[in-house]
């Protein structure tokens, strides 16, 4: 292996820069050349790539976003697009690639390697949703849940001052891990996630109980993909039945994707980036790096699908504590 490139793809997440830095510095340390590819697979097709040295990744570990930009690229799904990508990689002398992204990014890499086996890919899980098989943590999750927690703490202050009921929507189209962590850490009265059936009657009973027991605020955290609807729709359903509450809705939105990565985020992203580079050098490919029980593990791309299992103990605990 002579030159290792790194790119970020799919939804961006805080900590991607720490991972990029680790890939570049590990490759250089091992005597290889390093490169960055911009805007996900679009940069492969457009030849938007550049050589990186030690200083290319200076002073980025604390920054959110990704210095390489990210994108979704329809053309890479076509054989013609992947041929253009291959030609550009060959021209640039790239023979190993660290892909930082989600399951779609790894599927693209897997297909590409079947067509062009001389280029090797290893993945690092980059998504705020923490919903990939093969790792306890994805890059971005820890920062996203801390951002959501801080925002909800602030909303709790104003909710208590006015005896209000807030429905707060957090990110998670298919997964409720952000909602669960943000909700538990802020003492939410209820947490609604796509993985479990949302019982509106039960929710109303619980909120009614809170009212009767003189709770001076209530917070319901809703994952955006909850099957009963988003926070607005669920708030409307509840409002129709609980007119004594003043009900407000807050959608946290994209603030959950940005911001300075937390300490653990930077540490884990650095570990994964370094491990991915070493894995390529050792001849591994077609695998995603993960951290399971604090150990680095390798999971074949084909198995890095999204998982939807929510720890049932957590779900029970939410009911018990609220
Ligand atoms: P996120 O979890 O943030 O959605 P992701 O990596 O799953 O991240 P996707 O948009 O699903 O994001 O995939 C990223 C890119 O990977 C796509 O824009 C496309 O270029 C490529 N890709 C995804 N699936 C395929 C596929 N079946 N064939 C070829 N390329 C693919």
pLDDT tens for each residue of 172-206: 999 999 999 999 999 999 999 999 999 999 999 99
- Architecture in CATH for domain 142-257: 3-Layer(aba) Sandwich (3.40)
Residue of the CA atom closest to atom 10 of ligand 1: 10
44 lines ligand 1 (CB under 6 A): no
107 lines ligand 1 (CB under 6 A): yes
Locate the domains of the chain by residue range: 3-140+261-304, 142-257
Lookup: tokens for 132: 């990939």
- Predicted local distance difference test score (pLDDT) of residue 160: 86
Start-end of H helices in the chain = 16-29, 41-46, 79-92, 103-115, 141-161, 177-185, 200-212, 231-239, 263-281, 312-321
Asked if 53 and 73 touch (Cβ cutoff 8 Å), the reply is no
pLDDT digits (tens, 9 = 90+) for 52-66: 999 999 999 999 999
172 lines ligand 1 (CB under 6 A): no
CB atoms within 10 A of CB 93: 12
pLDDT digits (tens, 9 = 90+) for 9-45: 999 999 999 999 999 999 999 999 999 999 999 999 9
Residue of the CA atom closest to atom 16 of ligand 1: 105
**Which of 43, 108, 116 maximizes ligand 1 atoms within 8 Å of its Cβ, making it the mutation to test the pocket?**
108
Q: How confident is the model at residue 316 (pLDDT cuts 50, 70, 90)?
A: confident
Question: Which residues have a Cβ under 8 Å from the Cβ of 66 and sit 6 or more positions away?
Answer: 8, 12, 16, 17, 20, 100
- Predicted local distance difference test score (pLDDT) of residue 307: 74
Say which DSSP state 59 is in. Answer: T
Closest CA to 27 of 298, 273, 318, 292: 273
Question: Which residues have a Cβ under 8 Å from the Cβ of 156 and sit 6 or more positions away?
Answer: 166, 186, 187, 217, 219
Residue 211 pLDDT more than 90?
A: no
Asked if the domains at 3-140+261-304 and 142-257 fall in one CATH topology, the answer is yes
CATH number of 3-140+261-304: 3.40.50.450
CB atoms within 10 A of CB 301: 24
Closest CA to 124 of 49, 254, 23, 51: 23
66 lines ligand 1 (CB under 6 A): no
Selected catalytic residue, list 129, 131, 142, 226: 129
Residue of the CA atom closest to atom 19 of ligand 1: 73
- Ligand 1 centroid–CA 285 distance in Å is 18
pTM: 0.96
138 lines ligand 1 (CB under 6 A): no
Residue 157 appears among annotated catalytic residues: no
Closest CA to 192 of 167, 217, 209: 167
């Amino acid at each position: 292996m002579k030159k290792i490139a790194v790119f970020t793809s799919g939804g961006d997440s805080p900590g991607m820069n720490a991972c990029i830095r680790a890939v570049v510095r590990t490759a250089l340390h091992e005597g290889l050349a390093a490169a960055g590819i911009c805007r996900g697979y679009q940069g492969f097709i457009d030849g938007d790539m550049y050589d990186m040295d030690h200083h290319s990744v200076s002073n980025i570990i604390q920054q959110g976003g990704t210095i390489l930009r990210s994108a979704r690229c329809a053309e890479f799904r076509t054989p013609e697009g992947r041929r253009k990508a291959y030609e550009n990689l060959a021209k640039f002398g790239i023979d190993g690639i660290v892909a930082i992204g989600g399951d779609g990014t790894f599927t693209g890499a897997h297909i590409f390697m079947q067509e062009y086996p001389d280029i090797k890919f290893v993945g690092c899980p980059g998504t705020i949703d923490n919903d990939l098989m093969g790792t306890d943590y994805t890059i971005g999750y820890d920062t996203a849940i801390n951002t959501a927690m801080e925002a909800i703490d602030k909303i709790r202050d104003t909710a208590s001052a006015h005896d209000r009921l807030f429905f707060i929507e957090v990110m998670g189209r298919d997964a409720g891990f952000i909602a669960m962590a943000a909700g538990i850490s802020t003492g939410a009265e209820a947490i609604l996630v796509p993985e479990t059936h949302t019982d509106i009657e039960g929710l109303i009973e619980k909120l009614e109980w809170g009212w009767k027991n003189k709770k001076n605020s209530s917070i319901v955290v809703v994952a955006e993909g909850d099957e009963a609807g988003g926070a607005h729709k669920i708030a409307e359903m509840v409002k129709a039945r609980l007119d004594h509450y003043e009900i407000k809705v807050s959608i946290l939105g994209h603030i959950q994707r940005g911001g300075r990565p937390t300490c653990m985020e930077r540490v884990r992203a650095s570990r994964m980036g370094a491990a991915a580079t070493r894995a390529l050098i050792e001849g591994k490919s077609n695998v995603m790096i993960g951290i399971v029980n604090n150990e680095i593990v390798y999971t074949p791309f084909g198995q890095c699908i999204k998982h939807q299992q929510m720890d049932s103990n957590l779900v029970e605990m939410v009911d018990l504590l609220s």
